[in-house]
Structure 1
Amino acid sequence: MIAASHASAPALHGSGAPAVDVDPFSTEFFEDPHRIHEALREAGPVVWLPRWNVHAVARYEEVRTVLHDPATFCSGRGVGLSDFAREKPWRPQSLILEADPPAHGRTRAVLNRVLSPAVMKTLRDRFQAAAHRLVDELLARREIDAVADLAEAFPLSVFPDAVGLAREGREHLLPYAGLAFNAFGPPNALRRHAFETAAPHVAWVMEQCRRENLAPGGFGAAIHAAADAGAITHEEAPLLVRSLLTAGLDTTVNSIGAALYCLARYPAAWASLRADPGLARAAFEEAVRYESPVQTFFRTTTRPVEIGGARLDEGSKVLMFLGAANRDPRRWEEPDRYDPTRATVGHVGFGSGIHMCVGQLLGRLEGEVMLSALAARVGAIAITGPVVRRYNNTLRGLERLPVTLTAA
């Protein structure tokens, strides 16, 4: 899969970037991205991926550069492989993820208020109580699938209520988010299958984003209230609710799953958390860095630019390997070690810059209270069967994680 060897210099693209023949949307990559990440980082600060005719950055410094220069590396032409200047988006563009300043700042400000730190404080007690109830139920069962029974079950028990969604039909939420993230990839089997099965999920989600279908007092109602106040238009409000549904669930599910997988594999880390439950937030952050539930995103150049010694034309797609940046030894000491005591400030697991994940505070709250509840009540987590990956063109997560929970 990796054409360039360490013994010979790789061929150079016309931009000056070394060509590396890898497919970041393949089963091989989904199963073990880390070896490929290393090859990409070592090939150069910017590489050319002939498989999909795009440039890519895998080192921390260059990934941060792209994330923090939205004027040069824009999102409005799509954060997937598709270039919206050349093809029509599969659904109306996101007003957050697929928007550039100044329009992005106006809509982002609304979601920042709806999901502010002050709002998160009002949710903490409710989320914490729900986490403890779920852990008690799972301890009584002992043998569980930590993905379906915990990483999915907990966000699905608190997030839809916080948004104000109807109870009927919530089974559409995870498939819809999976579709949205698969759509950022190339026209491979994953993307085709997602679109073939999309219709009922898309229809339910779009219907739920309408004002009359959202319960009073939730995030959704607050977004529509912002339209009443003139901060956004009434036509934009349902699209902002949709953005929240996309950003607030799948990434959280995969992040909690990543934390559980790390803590089950590394007893010393679990012992550290149990000895100091105050490490729950740090253990969650380190899992996001270590496993990087969001692996990749694209940007498009708005002008000719030189980065990492490569000369990119206007309209060049640039693939950012967030997972590779999060394990770049140029930035992190012992990057392949999961350490809940590590200072993970600066990881790009939730992105960085103006497009940092809009649901990050909500995801962090859910991850922290769940790991805190586990640390308080569970003495040991043991993997008891085959661990199965869930394939997605953008996300890295698990389909199954069979474990036994032993009470403290």
Structure 2
Amino acid sequence: MSTLAADHVATPINRSDPFALDILADPHAFHRQLRDAGPVVYLDSLGVYGMAGYEQVHAALTDWQSFQSAAGVGLSNFRFEKPWRPRSLLLEADPPHHDAPRRVLTKVLGPRALTRLREKWIEDADRLVDDVLATSNTVDAVPALAQAFPLRVFPDAVGLQQEGRENLLPYGNHTFNAFGPHNSLVEAGQARVAELSGWVNAQCARTMLTDDGFGAQIWAASDRGDITPEQAPLIVRSLLTAGVDTTVNGLAAVLYAFAAHPDQWQRVRADPTRARTAFDEAVRWESPVQTFFRTATSDVRIGETIIPDGEKILMFLGAANRDPRRWTDPYAFDLHRDPSGHVGFGMGIHQCVGQHVARLESEALLTALATRVSTIEFAGEPRRHLNNTLRSWESLPLRLGT
């Protein structure tokens, strides 16, 4: 704990561990404590500051000059510690180093570029749902739908080879765990770190990718001089790191939401164009990415607190997305709501560059379900998969009425 933080009596101190397994399983009461405490809290268990209110989180995410990402978006402070893997050129870089990679990937993953994939992904979603329903109307929606569809379409879109794709989810799971402290969740994945990292890094080489996917387009940008040849594989790796688990958990979140709020599923069935709004509302409501860190670039005043230069700040995205000062009835999943403005995809220059991909995947899958499934009900007790950063599901038993 810094001397300044100890002396600054105006800053509330919270002694709970945000990464304790019981809080990860059910964070909402803890989030309310943080929001009610004030604009900034000092998290004594970690030795960092925290923000949980929408106003403060949104402002910090958009102020990259004061709250940098380049020192790491996890607990590790890259000013003093060496990352366990090469840092992300998107998540863990600020301008000017962030600019060229972001421009390239924004073009590769933008709405116009995704137009060519739309019809194919809709057909893939139709086939997947038909296959699932042909087997049984009772399914575990996590492996059968939420994991199956992204793993069916996204690696093809990137241009990955078929062999080894089963490594994507455990690699992403460990990466997001590693943004937190070295707890039991990190320890559980430690044995496979070298193997998984080696496989992912190998897939980013030009020679490993098909000539018609996102990866090939990134390498083509290096040929044009938009990025360097050294940057190209790191940008491809960013797709493989953050492009699967986040979408999987977003899809699981929206399916869970419909089982918990059956009236909202009927709204989508009556008007399938609401599928995109439903996904964004689920991202607000469940916040698949719960937290990210920033680092103060100078002594920054927020309310009565001065956060010293170099101190880490934990941004509680999930808490901000349920802040009653920003959202009416925030704990309800409600398709009458306009969820735009949520911070589930981040905000500002580091906002998720792949969000259009995730929305298209969700739209395709939910539309396929809406034309075939009349009701979505729980068929058993859902089980969480705990992760230091992600709000995930291990199992989501659903009964799909036809």
TM-score normalised by the chain length of structure 2: 0.97
* 1:13–1:320 Cα change, 3 Å: farther
Counterpart in 1 of 2:81? 87
**1:44 is aligned to 2:44:** no
User: Deviation of residue 83 (structure 1)?
Assistant: 0.3
Partner of residue 370, structure 1: 365
- Per the alignment, residue 221 of structure 1 pairs with 216
Query: What one-letter code is carried by the residue in structure 2 that aligns with 1:150?
Result: L
Q: Residue 15 of structure 1: CA displacement?
A: 6.5
1:166-221 CA-partner distances (Å, limit 9, x unpaired): 00100000111111111100111111222222222111111100000000110000
Aligned pairs, how many?
A: 397
Q: Shift in Å at residue 14 of structure 1?
A: 2.2
Please list, as runs of the form range in 1=range in 2, the aligned pairs for 1:329-368 lying within 5 A after superposition. 329-368=324-363
CA contact (8 A) 1:145 1:400 kept: yes
Alignment-derived partner of residue 67 in structure 1: 61
CA RMSD of aligned residues (A): 1.2
Report the AA paired with residue 220 of structure 2.
Answer: A
Does structure 2 conserve the Cα–Cα contact (< 8 Å) formed by 1:15 and 1:311? no
AA in 2 matched with 1:304:
D
Q: 2:326 and 2:26 mapped to 1: Cα distance?
A: 21
Separation in structure 1 between the aligned mates of residue 104 and residue 304 of structure 2, nearest angstrom: 39
> How far, CA to CA, are the matches of 1:154 and 1:380 in structure 2?
20
Report SS of the residue matched to 2:17. coil
Q: Answer yes or no: is the 8 Å Cα contact 1:254–1:398 preserved in 2.
A: yes
User: Partners in 1 of 2:285 and 2:255 — Cα distance?
Assistant: 12
- Structure 1 Cα separation of the partners of residues 130 and 400 of structure 2: 10
Contact 1:279/1:341 (8 A) holds in 2: no
| TM-score, structure 1 normalization | 0.96
Matching residue of 2:165:
170
The question of 1:305 aligning with 2:304 is answered no
Q: 8 Å contact 2:262–2:377 — kept in the other structure?
A: no
1:296 to 291, 295, 302: 291
| Identical-pair percentage | 54
Q: Which residue of 2 aligns with 1:112?
A: 106
Aligned-partner SS, 2:89: coil
Q: Is the 8 A contact 2:61 2:347 kept in 1?
A: yes
Amino acid paired to 1:40: L
Q: Which residue of 2 aligns with 1:97?
A: 91
Q: Which residue of 2 aligns with 1:259?
A: 254
Cα deviation per residue 1:223-247 (whole Å; 9 max; x = unaligned)? 0011000011111110000001112
Structure 2 unaligned residues grouped into runs of 5+: none
Any idea what SS the aligned residue of 2:376 has? Answer: strand
**Matched ranges for 1:145-294 at <5 A:** 145-294=140-289
| 1:400 equivalent in structure 2 | 395
Cα distance in 1 for residues equivalent to 2:391 and 2:20: 12
- Aligned counterparts of 2:192 and 2:223: Cα–Cα separation in 1: 35
Partner letter of residue 28 of structure 1?
Answer: D
Q: Deviations over 1:241-266 (max 9, x none)?
A: 00011121110000000000000111
Contact 2:57/2:320 (8 A) holds in 1? yes
Task: Tell me which of 3, 27, 31 is aligned to 1:33.
Answer: 27
Looking at structure 1, the residues matched to 215 and 126 of structure 2 have their Cα atoms a distance apart, in angstroms, of: 26
- Helix, strand or coil at the partner of 2:13: coil
Distance 2:234 2:7 in 1: 39
User: Secondary structure of the residue that 2:374 maps to in structure 1?
Assistant: strand
Match of 1:144 in 2: 139
- The 3 A distance-change label for structure 1 pair 288 and 401 is same
Whichever residue aligns with residue 277 of structure 2, its letter is A
Runs (5+) with no aligned partner, structure 1: 1-10
